Structure 1
Amino acid sequence: MKHTLISLTTLTLLSAALAVTVKHEGGNLTLKTPAKRVVALEYSFVDTLVALGVKPAGAALGTQGGDRGAPPYLAGRVSGVTATGSRAQPSLETIAASRPDLILADAFVHQSALGTLSKLAPTAAFQSRRGSLEDLNAQTLAIGQLVGREAAARRLLAEQASLISKARAFAKKGAPAFVAAVVTPKSLTVHTNESFVGSYLEALGRKNQLPVKDGQTQYELSLEGLVALSPQSLVLFTAPDETPITEAWQKNPLWQKLAAVRRGRVYEFDRDNWTRGRGPLALRLMVAQTIQSRFLQDAAPSGNFQYR
């Protein structure tokens, strides 16, 4: 009997040691043991899991609702992962069939579905789509804790801090502020200093011209609105298989009035890598490209980074 009590006590202590609690947008989430089967409903979560050495049990890799599937840099790393619908339209049936012990959801995109998702498995919601660099770093650590890889998460964050420090050495002191925007065939959406890419480019040493507006970290602008801002440097995130609305704008005399156009400081980056991944692996690509493009140096864009 005594041995049985000792064994039970030992098991209880071990279980308590393995338990993890993290804070997320829905409060605190406690898992008795680290998650092994994780469904990720946003690309940044997929990126983070892969960077931590964890293959998702399911992920939002579908193309419904205008989604484009996995960003190219992630595609080869998620081969064989079950597609649980798209980010905007997750399939509850497929998620359930994946038998997750953890679901990672976007606090903005999946807000109305969080209650339902939580019935399928413990769910942690983070501000990914509308999050800043600080938000994404906090998520990296939290996800690392939830899957029992906190040490690996801290190494990723330390590596990222080191890369940012090295990149800042390339940033030209006193360079004018920039405006950054995602461009689709129908719209141009600027990213403020509290958006992910907007805050990340600031972290690398350039000043973002735009603060949050009416509580929105991202918002649409017309050509006239862009001209009113008169940005000295303009960073555009486009998709290689789309014709961005700025192609039509270029034919408008107003486009030529943009200071960034006159200075030859319009930079173009692939939004599949920049504004969709938003995880540790994407950040490595982004650091390299800000240097290669000569954006940090406030020099004329090089090669493929020059706006078409």
Structure 2
Amino acid sequence: MRYFLGWLILGILGFTLLTACNHHTFQNISSLPKQPAAECRMVKHTMGETCVPINPQRVVTLSVSTLGNTLALGVKPIGATNEVQIDNNSLTYLQEKTEGIKLLGISRPDLEATLLLKPDVIIGLDWFKPIYPLLSQIAPTVLDKSDYANWQKHLSFVTEVLGKQKTEKALWQHYHQRMEQLQQALGDRYQNKKISFIYIGRNQINIDAKNSYAGSIIRDAHLQRPAPQNVDAPYGAFPISLEELKKADGDILFVTTFSKSGNEFLKNKQQEPLWKKLKAVRNNQVYYVDFMSWAASNMLGTDAVIDDLFKYLVHTP
């Protein structure tokens, strides 16, 4: 099972049809006069090497993880896609920061709208390989490997593209400072307790492994996971059946859903005897958190997850 945004990649496979659907756009792009080359530097990415502007001013991002990292680095894109705006979920931790950014599409970008924005660089993930030739004719385009189990690498990639190494260093200093504050506030009260995190959607219960985005934050807080969750997994997660629900047990259970069907599925499972037998359920220590924050896979979302750890583990009696 892929990481909890991984199922969205299946939709990206539809991009193989996108070139045909955007033939007119391709002709429009191809007919544009070439702009004089500005001063630039070479960046290696999944499609090769591309020369990007030294100080890009009109950035377009093609994933939420890219958008969050770009904003965290102090650059506000002029346009972005949002592959996780599903069933009226909103990017709660980004809301105030995205005002004025043009939404270019859910999952796949509207190429004509992107063209009209006249970006000087486009940054995305390798989901977009099928339309890379079109994107690269609009502006220098760089695509990073989509690796949700190593979100830190994508931050470094966006940092390199934007030339914001000093800002990235400050972001990590802030992150580690908050972690130290959290650890001090927690003290030793969770020394012998296990922290479980599951997410639910589309009739499936999924365990968030230790190498996931949220799993890495929980690990950095020096909190322990239940043995079945204290493992690495492809894309940072794996599914379980209702009969395997014991793998979700812990002293504390964080739960999130990412769709209306997931909400209904969870509501039904909460009536099951196996759910009611979970230790966290019996002790009333189940906490429901925002999917968008706990699935952010970018530096900007870390504060939201750490805030929740403070809220439920420090400030909750």
Normalising by the residue count of structure 2, what TM-score does the alignment of the two structures yield?
0.74
- Would the alpha carbon gap of residues 282 and 62 (structure 1) be closer, same or farther in structure 2, given more than 3 Å must change? closer
Counterpart check, 1:162 vs 2:182: no
The residue type paired with residue 302 of structure 1 is: T
Counterpart check, 1:123 vs 2:141: yes
Gaps of 5+ in 2: 1-36
Task: Report Cα offsets for 1:193-242 as digits up to 9, x if no partner.
Answer: 111112221111112342234x3422332222223554443211236977
Q: How does 1:86-165 map to 2 (within 5 A)?
A: 86=106, 88-107=107-126, 109-127=127-145, 130-132=147-149, 135-165=150-180
Partner of residue 41 from structure 1, selected from 54, 62, 66? 62
Q: Could you tell me which residue of structure 2 aligns to residue 4 of structure 1?
A: none
Does the residue aligned with 1:104 lie in a helix, a strand or coil? strand
Q: Is contact 1:171–1:204 with CA below 8 Å preserved after alignment?
A: no
Does the residue aligned with 1:72 lie in a helix, a strand or coil? coil
- In the alignment, the residues of structure 1 paired with residue 130 and residue 284 of structure 2 have an alpha-carbon distance, to the nearest angstrom, of 44
- In the alignment, the residues of structure 2 paired with residue 200 and residue 127 of structure 1 have an alpha-carbon distance, to the nearest angstrom, of 21
- In the alignment, the residues of structure 2 paired with residue 85 and residue 263 of structure 1 have an alpha-carbon distance, to the nearest angstrom, of 43
- In the alignment, the residues of structure 1 paired with residue 145 and residue 264 of structure 2 have an alpha-carbon distance, to the nearest angstrom, of 27
Q: How does 1:246-257 map to 2 (within 5 A)?
A: 246-257=266-277
- In the alignment, the residues of structure 1 paired with residue 73 and residue 248 of structure 2 have an alpha-carbon distance, to the nearest angstrom, of 40
Deviation at 1:168, TM superposition (A): 2.4
Partner of residue 71 from structure 1, selected from 78, 83, 91? 91
For the aligned residue pairs, the C-alpha RMSD in angstroms reads: 3.2
Normalising by the residue count of structure 1, what TM-score does the alignment of the two structures yield?
0.75
Q: Could you tell me which residue of structure 2 aligns to residue 83 of structure 1?
A: 103
- In the alignment, the residues of structure 2 paired with residue 243 and residue 290 of structure 1 have an alpha-carbon distance, to the nearest angstrom, of 22
Q: Is contact 1:25–1:126 with CA below 8 Å preserved after alignment?
A: yes
Q: How does 1:113-262 map to 2 (within 5 A)?
A: 113-127=131-145, 130-132=147-149, 135-169=150-184, 170=186, 172=188, 174-184=191-201, 186-209=203-226, 210=229, 211-213=231-233, 215-228=234-247, 230-238=249-257, 243-262=263-282
Q: Is contact 2:79–2:114 with CA below 8 Å preserved after alignment?
A: yes
Aligned residues: 275
The residue type paired with residue 205 of structure 2 is: L
- Considering fraction of residues, name the structure with more helix: 2
Q: Which has the higher contact order (CA 8 A, sep 6+)?
A: 2
Tell me whether 73-82 or 222-231 shows the greater mean CA deviation.
Answer: 222-231
Percent sequence identity over matched residues? 22
- In the alignment, the residues of structure 1 paired with residue 89 and residue 49 of structure 2 have an alpha-carbon distance, to the nearest angstrom, of 30
Q: Is contact 2:256–2:290 with CA below 8 Å preserved after alignment?
A: yes
Task: Report Cα offsets for 1:270-297 as digits up to 9, x if no partner.
Answer: 112221x333332122212201111xx6
